[in-house]
């Protein structure tokens, strides 16, 4: 009975890792400009290799990966400059 419980917990952790791999691959492919579906398919089919493939895959020229960076966190000053604000906080 204990052996079945151990197999179940290992299977659960492998399932979590598989789903995390798919989610990370989807995020990376969407940031690189290829859409989320390609990354999800790659992550679901290739498990651990999916995110690694998308890390080395070249980004498209107009992708979020190239314009906003890897994570996409831009500073408030950069966001305001891109939106055409003058830097004051008196806007509604």
Say what the pLDDT of residue 11 is.
87
pLDDT for 14-53, tens place per residue? 999 999 999 999 999 999 999 999 999 999 999 889 999 9
What global pTM score does this model have? Answer: 0.71
Cβ atoms of 54 and 21 closer than 8 Å = no
Domain extent listing, the chain: 2-83
pLDDT of residue 68: 84
pLDDT digits (tens, 9 = 90+) for 72-84: 766 555 655 666 5
| Angle, in degrees to the nearest 10, between helices 2-31 and 36-46 | 150
């Amino acid at each position: 009975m204990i052996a079945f419980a151990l197999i179940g917990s290992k299977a659960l952790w492998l399932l979590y890792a598989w789903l995390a791999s798919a989610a990370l691959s989807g995020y990376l492919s969407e940031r690189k400009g290829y859409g989320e579906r390609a990354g999800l398919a790659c992550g679901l089919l290739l498990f651990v290799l999916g995110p690694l493939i998308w890390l080395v895959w070249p980004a498209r020229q107009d992708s979020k990966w190239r314009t906003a960076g890897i994570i996409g966190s831009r500073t408030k000053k950069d966001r305001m400059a891109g939106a055409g604000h003058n830097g004051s906080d008196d806007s509604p």
